[in-house]
């Protein structure tokens, strides 16, 4: 791709200029960075970054976890969880410190990642409403642009398995309503039911992902790896079981208690028994995910394509571990809506290690992938490409977004719509529950409803109006 | 067990045992709503866990282990003590249906009463009442020195019935299989 060559030339010019200043020792550092492929990201050149993969377009690897909170990574400040590979992604890439999902529930959020659309647009409103085959995913556009694509992992949308257009390899599971099992989970590999005795699902899916990467190393590819982990039943692999068995759990909120997993309909979340046991397993499952992420990153490096590959790491929603005396993920709270969202793309970002505060959403994934692949973002996508933020280009960014949750029987959560701004979270519920307003800046745990305060009264009209606008859009 | 002719009046043999169980349930339920998060979260956590253990116990076992024996030894007949033992679980179910109608339509809320945990509560009572009946018979027989048969086909059938449902609702696929059957039922009825 010519764009790529120009960029490389510019880089070489810079490197040459830097070499002139080698006496000061600066040149070696710059050349070293060039050799590592970091210079484009750290440079201050204006204009868009050119992606200089061997085919002119970057490979894409999306790793999607399930129910992983934004703050459950070492690099997000978790007190005991060790996730060196996630941390490396953050330090070598960009970690969006304000990343959210527009619906905190598996099926709708997954459909949003794939289509770039809100749940009310793509139609997968809860875990009961089926995927519409006419929905267009980013795979279709990537395929048209020459990508070979694989979907490996959790599909979990109601209805029969789709014939995903644009996907060359489709590996998923249907057991337990599409939730899969941690151990011995049968897979449907390109339509063929396959037993997987003795396999741990995070490792098994990663094995298949690595096979795909190896088979496509000379092509341009997109791998979408959607883990079952770290959804319940939170079962870690045997060698990690007990890793955090002795950790102090002071990071859990003061209002949690062990048996809330069974109180007031919380048992639907499927985590019966003491919360501490599940929480420790949840963290151990995350270590297993991190380990497998490391295998993928190492494989890309070994194949010499790491710098030509954009890796996105995110989750379908967060999870509450006792906040507001709840466990689960459906309510419009920070714990549930916020997710990890990291992009490592050596040739496509500037300033690795940054943590931009712009709001990144699940609906932004599809447009971002298309954008970095040089494909025009289709108008039906409601998200926005994050490429300008990755490339540090000046851009006017969103200041709020719509959160929506549709009734999902029998889960004990009312349908709700919310607007989340940089400052406030305003939530309206279906049914008899009154609207709530929180000052996120002062009360990030959303403990104090300020609707009845002077500040709340002042903020409410604009927030109500904005919620109507966003809902209509 | 007192003979029918010696049975206590309905207040003593039925209403008081039922009231004891309902009162315990109500008191614990209210307590569970009002325990404040204290400066020392460990204290709060201990109290909440203790209250919930007792609360779950009263809902699940109160009918069989409190109401049923009280009524048995006060002369209530089998149908009477069975109904009496079911009052607390049924009150809990009604409370749950009311609670979830915040989220669901009336029809959906009623269907909620057929969910696995509630079915388990109801079907589990058969086994628990059967165990309670046999314990009462044993104590009664020892007290009176009579040779009352403790294990008879009816309580054994009750235990088997409960164990089958325990398997179907909770053990089979760790409860997930029944959950999806239940959800299919929901789709048929409401979508």
Strands A221-226 and A59-65: parallel
Rounded Cα gap, residues A137 and A378, in angstroms: 11
> What is the DSSP-derived secondary structure letter of residue B101?
T
pLDDT at A120 over 60: yes
Residue A41: burial class (beta carbons within 10 Å; 0-12, 13-18, 19+)? buried
Q: Pick from B125, B23, B52: which is nearest to A259 by CA?
A: B52
Chain A partners of B104 at a C-beta cutoff of 8 Å?
407, 409-410
Length of chain B: 191
Average pLDDT over residues A83-103: 98
CA atoms within 13 A on the CB side of A225: 29
Give B32-64 pLDDT, tens digit per residue.
999 988 888 889 999 999 999 999 999 999 999
Chain A partners of B183 at a C-beta cutoff of 8 Å?
128, 177, 409-410
How far is Cα of residue B2 from the mean position of the Cα atoms in its chain?
A: 25
Mean pLDDT lowest for which of A13-17, A84-88, A169-173, A180-184?
A13-17
Rounded Cα gap, residues A445 and A450, in angstroms: 13
Average pLDDT over residues A233-254: 96
Q: Does this complex have an ipTM over 0.95?
A: no
pLDDT at B105 over 70: yes
pLDDT at A462 over 70: yes
In which band, very low, low, confident or very high, does the pLDDT at B8 lie, cut at 50, 70 and 90?
confident
For chain B, percent of residues with pLDDT exceeding 70: 97
Phi then psi dihedrals of residue B6, to 5 deg? -95, 5
Give A70-84 pLDDT, tens digit per residue.
999 999 999 999 999
Residue of A nearest to B186 (CA): A409
Phi then psi dihedrals of residue A421, to 5 deg? -105, -175
Q: Map tokens 């959210």 to a residue.
A: A100
Average pLDDT over residues A395-415: 95
pLDDT at A183: 97
pLDDT at A465 over 70: yes
Centre a 10 Å sphere on the Cβ of residue B32 and count the other Cβ atoms it contains: 18
Q: Does B8 touch chain A (CB under 8 A)?
A: no
**What is the token pair recorded at A187?**
């897979």
CA atoms within 13 A on the CB side of A256: 18
Strands A320-321 and A400-405: unpaired
Is A407 in contact with B104 (Cβ distance < 8 A)? yes
Residue of B nearest to A181 (CA): B173
Q: Does B102 touch chain A (CB under 8 A)?
A: yes
Q: Which residues contact A48 (CB under 8 A, 6 or more apart)?
A: A387, A391, A393
Contact present, A177 and A126 (Cβ < 8 Å):
no
Average pLDDT over residues A300-325: 97
Rounded Cα gap, residues A266 and B48, in angstroms: 15
Q: Does B92 touch chain A (CB under 8 A)?
A: no
Mean pLDDT of chain B: 92
Residue B119: burial class (beta carbons within 10 Å; 0-12, 13-18, 19+)? middle
pLDDT at B177: 86
In which band, very low, low, confident or very high, does the pLDDT at A414 lie, cut at 50, 70 and 90?
very high
Contact present, A102 and A122 (Cβ < 8 Å):
no
Centre a 10 Å sphere on the Cβ of residue B186 and count the other Cβ atoms it contains: 18
Q: Does A123 touch chain B (CB under 8 A)?
A: no
pLDDT at A243: 98
Contacts 24+ apart (CB under 8 A), A35-41: A36/A346, A37/A307, A37/A346, A37/A347, A38/A346, A38/A352, A39/A11, A39/A14, A39/A15, A40/A7, A40/A11, A40/A346, A40/A347, A40/A348, A40/A350, A41/A346, A41/A347, A41/A348, A41/A349, A41/A350, A41/A351, A41/A352
pLDDT at A31: 35
**What is the token pair recorded at A433?**
């529950």
pLDDT at B79: 96
Among B45, B52, B104, select the one facing A263 at the smallest CB separation.
B52
pLDDT at A25 over 80: no
Contacts 24+ apart (CB under 8 A), B134-138: B135/B69, B136/B1, B136/B68, B136/B69, B136/B72, B136/B73
pLDDT at A55: 55
pLDDT at B7: 74
Is B56 in contact with A267 (Cβ distance < 8 A)? no
**What is the token pair recorded at A40?**
């484009």
Rounded Cα gap, residues A436 and A443, in angstroms: 13
Rounded Cα gap, residues B67 and B65, in angstroms: 6
In which band, very low, low, confident or very high, does the pLDDT at B3 lie, cut at 50, 70 and 90?
low
Average pLDDT over residues A419-430: 97
Segment 381-410 of chain A within 8 Å of chain B by CB: 407, 409-410
In which band, very low, low, confident or very high, does the pLDDT at B4 lie, cut at 50, 70 and 90?
low
Largest CA distance in chain A: 73
Segment 137-156 of chain B within 8 Å of chain A by CB: none
**What is the token pair recorded at A214?**
């190896």
Distance from CA of B168 to the nearest CA of A (A): 15
Average pLDDT over residues B16-37: 95
Q: Does A277 touch chain B (CB under 8 A)?
A: no
Among A258, A265, A433, select the one facing B45 at the smallest CB separation.
A258
Average pLDDT over residues A263-284: 91
């Amino acid at each position: 791709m010519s764009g790529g060559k120009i960029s490389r030339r510019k880089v070489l010019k810079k490197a040459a200029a830097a070499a002139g200043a080698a006496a000061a020792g600066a040149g070696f550092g710059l050349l070293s960075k060039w050799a590592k492929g970091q210079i484009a990201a750290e440079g201050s050149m204006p204009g868009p970054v050119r992606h200089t993969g061997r085919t002119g377009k970057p490979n894409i690897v999306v790793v999607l976890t399930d129910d992983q909170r934004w703050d459950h990574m070492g690099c997000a400040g978790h007190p005991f969880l060790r996730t060196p590979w996630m941390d490396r992604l953050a330090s070598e890439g960009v970690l969006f410190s304000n990343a959210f999902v527009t619906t905190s529930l598996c099926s709708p959020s997954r459909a949003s990642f794939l289509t770039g659309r809100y749940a009310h647009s793509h139609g997968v409103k809860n875990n009961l409403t089926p995927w519409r085959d006419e929905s267009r995913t980013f795979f279709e556009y990537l395929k048209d642009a020459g990508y070979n694509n694989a979907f490996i992992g959790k599909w979990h949308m109601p209805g029969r398995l789709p014939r995903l257009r644009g996907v060359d390899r489709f590996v998923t599971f249907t057991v337990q309503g599409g939730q899969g099992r941690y151990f011995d989970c049968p897979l449907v590999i390109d339509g063929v039911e396959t037993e997987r005795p003795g396999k741990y699902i995070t490792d098994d899916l990663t094995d298949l992902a690595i096979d795909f990467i190896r088979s496509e190393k000379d092509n341009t590819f997109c791998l979408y790896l959607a883990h079952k982990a770290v959804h319940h039943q939170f079962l870690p692999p045997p060698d990690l079981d007990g890793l955090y068995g002795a950790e102090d759990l002071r990071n859990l909120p003061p209002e949690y208690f062990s048996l809330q997993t069974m109180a007031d309909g919380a048992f639907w979340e499927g985590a019966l028994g003491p919360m501490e046991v599940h929480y420790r397993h949840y963290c151990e499952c995350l270590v297993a995910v991190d380990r497998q992420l490391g295998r993928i990153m190492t494989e890309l490096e070994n194949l010499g394509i790491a710098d030509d590959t954009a890796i996105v790491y995110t989750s379908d929603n967060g999870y509450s571990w006792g906040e507001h005396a709840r466990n689960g993920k459906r309510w419009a709270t920070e714990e549930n809506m916020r997710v990890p969202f990291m992009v490592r793309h050596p040739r496509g970002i500037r300033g690795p290690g940054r943590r931009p505060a712009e709001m990144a959403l699940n609906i932004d994934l599809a447009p971002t992938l298309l954008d970095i692949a040089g494909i025009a973002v289709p108008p039906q996508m409601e998200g926005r490409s994050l490429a300008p933020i990755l490339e540090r280009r000046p851009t006017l960014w969103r200041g709020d977004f719509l959160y929506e949750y549709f009734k999902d029987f029998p889960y004990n959560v009312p349908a709700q719509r919310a607007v989340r701004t940089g400052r406030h979270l305003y939530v309206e519920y279906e049914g008899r529950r009154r609207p709530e307003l929180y000052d996120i800046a002062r009360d990030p745990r959303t403990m104090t409803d300020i609707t009845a305060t002077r500040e709340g009264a002042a903020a409410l009209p604009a927030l109500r109006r904005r919620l109507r606008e966003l809902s209509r859009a | 067990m007192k003979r029918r002719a010696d049975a206590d009046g309905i207040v003593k043999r039925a209403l008081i045992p039922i009231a004891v169980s309902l009162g315990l349930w109500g008191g614990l339920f209210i307590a569970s709503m009002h325990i404040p998060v204290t400066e020392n979260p460990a204290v709060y956590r201990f109290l909440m866990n203790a209250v919930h253990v007792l609360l779950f116990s009263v809902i699940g076992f109160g009918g069989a282990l409190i109401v049923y024996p009280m009524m048995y030894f006060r002369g209530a007949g089998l149908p009477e003590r069975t109904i009496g033992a079911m009052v607390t679980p049924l009150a809990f179910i009604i409370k749950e249906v009311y609670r979830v109608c915040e989220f669901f339509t009336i029809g959906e809320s009623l269907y909620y009463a057929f969910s696995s945990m509630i079915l388990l509560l109801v079907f589990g009572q058969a086994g628990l009442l059967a165990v309670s009946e046999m314990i009462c018979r044993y104590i009664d027989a020892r007290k009176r020195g009579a040779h009352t048969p403790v294990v008879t086909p009816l309580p054994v059938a009750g235990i088997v019935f409960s164990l089958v449902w325990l398997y179907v609702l909770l053990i089979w696929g760790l409860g997930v299989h029944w959950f999806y059957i239940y959800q299919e039922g929901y789709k048929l009825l409401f979508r």
